[in-house]
Amino acid sequence: MKTYIKIYGPPIIEALKALERVAIEISKELPEVCFYDTLGGTALPQSDVTAFISERLGISVDEARMHYEKMISKSGWTLGEHDFYFEWTVPPTFEQLKLLISKIDEALQPLGCKYTVTTK
């Protein structure tokens, strides 16, 4: 199951970076969620991402690197008309979906872009 995000920008690149940060931050609360690397190599340099994960989760940079690898979906490119997706390893509960959507809202609100969220 996947939660797809369609961004009606601008700023689309900044929104993708914000969604990637959501994926990193929410991984501690919802380990059932991973994401597809929509920008090929991530929107952020991997060294920045692993440092961010390390600091945010309170783990070593080496552990963060391994954690990062688990966060990237291996299911392939299924975006179609969407810009980003979060993949669920198990079907989400309604509460888990609400948590994810609230984190997405919080991250994208300052950017002012419009977006849709679809889980299927």
**Domain around 64:** 2-119
Q: Please name which of 65, 96, 78 lies closest in space to residue 35, comparing C-alpha atoms.
A: 78
Is the pLDDT higher at 29 or at 41? 29
Number of domains present in the structure of the chain = 1
Q: Residue 43 pLDDT > 50, yes or no?
A: no
Mean pLDDT of the chain: 78
CA pair distance 16, 12, nearest whole angstrom: 6
pTM higher than 0.75:
no
Is the pLDDT higher at 119 or at 75? 119
Is the pLDDT higher at 25 or at 96? 96
pLDDT digits (tens, 9 = 90+) for 57-79: 677 878 777 666 665 555 544 55
Q: Residue 41 pLDDT > 70, yes or no?
A: no
Q: Looking at mean pLDDT, say which of 18-27, 38-47, 51-60 comes out highest.
A: 18-27
